[in-house]
Structure 1
Amino acid sequence: MSKFLKGLLILMGVGFVSLPLLIWATAPKGSVSDVAIAPVSVPISQVDPITDYQAGLSAVPSMAAFVADVRLGLIDGLVEIEVTPQFQAEAKADREGLAVVLWEAWTRSYGGDDVDNARIRLVDEQGRQVGGSRAIAGSVIYVDD
């Protein structure tokens, strides 16, 4: 499992409301050394979910190695995440773990009472679907072999 993915999985145990409020610092050896909440400059209720999500992903070091672009999907609650070839090169279990982390982060940005309304669609550089939420529920995440 990559250092980046391990850090993200550790991160998910931290209770925070809005992803861009996260500041993540790593120790020289690559272990997560500090997780803190930054001061809120804009009330969370006034932040657009996709803007919140994009800002949060950009606040995580090395995210660009796995996520090339993020945009709203065609249905309410859907975010389309374009993944990089490096994401595709990871082992299936690591890609599944990262996909779950991406979905959980989207649920925080999207909000709402029913987290299964928050869905992700993972696509490659050519726009082909390579994973995401299943039709049955947003929380049922898969990645292609």
Structure 2
Amino acid sequence: MNLNGDIIIIEDDYDDREFLVEIIEEVLKNNGYHNKIVTIADSGRVIDFLKEAQDSPFLIISDINMPGMDGFQLRQQIFEDQDLNDKCIPYIFLTTSGDNVDLMKKAYGLSIQGYFTKPNDYSEYQVLMSDIIRYWKVAKIANRVGYDG
């Protein structure tokens, strides 16, 4: 994981995507973080993007319910691709699906690093994103040990 790498947002809904970008931009600014935000509306383009990226991303935030390839299928492809899996990119689900236990079990069965429900309140959403980003800024990740970037 690259501490200053891109934050990848995979979200097909334009309004949800732009709202999340606004919140994350504010969190980054307030904390002095310099990550770039990359949005991808079509989940079918994510694997190629990750393979072509010069630097490893910092974090992937993905919706679950998307047309074509849903978040579970995307996570499965990343998990099964040894090169992408070795990058140890934290994969977070951010969804409106709520507290659906079956979905949570399925998600964690794919070795995701977090399952969160999209808050309706702006300040709650901001706190959630701030907590997630701060956590991953200090978490110990296998390919980051000794990394000084």
TM-score for the superposition, normalised by structure 2: 0.29
The answer to which structure has the higher strand fraction is 1
Answer 1 or 2: higher relative contact order, Cα 8 Å, separation at least 6. Answer: 2
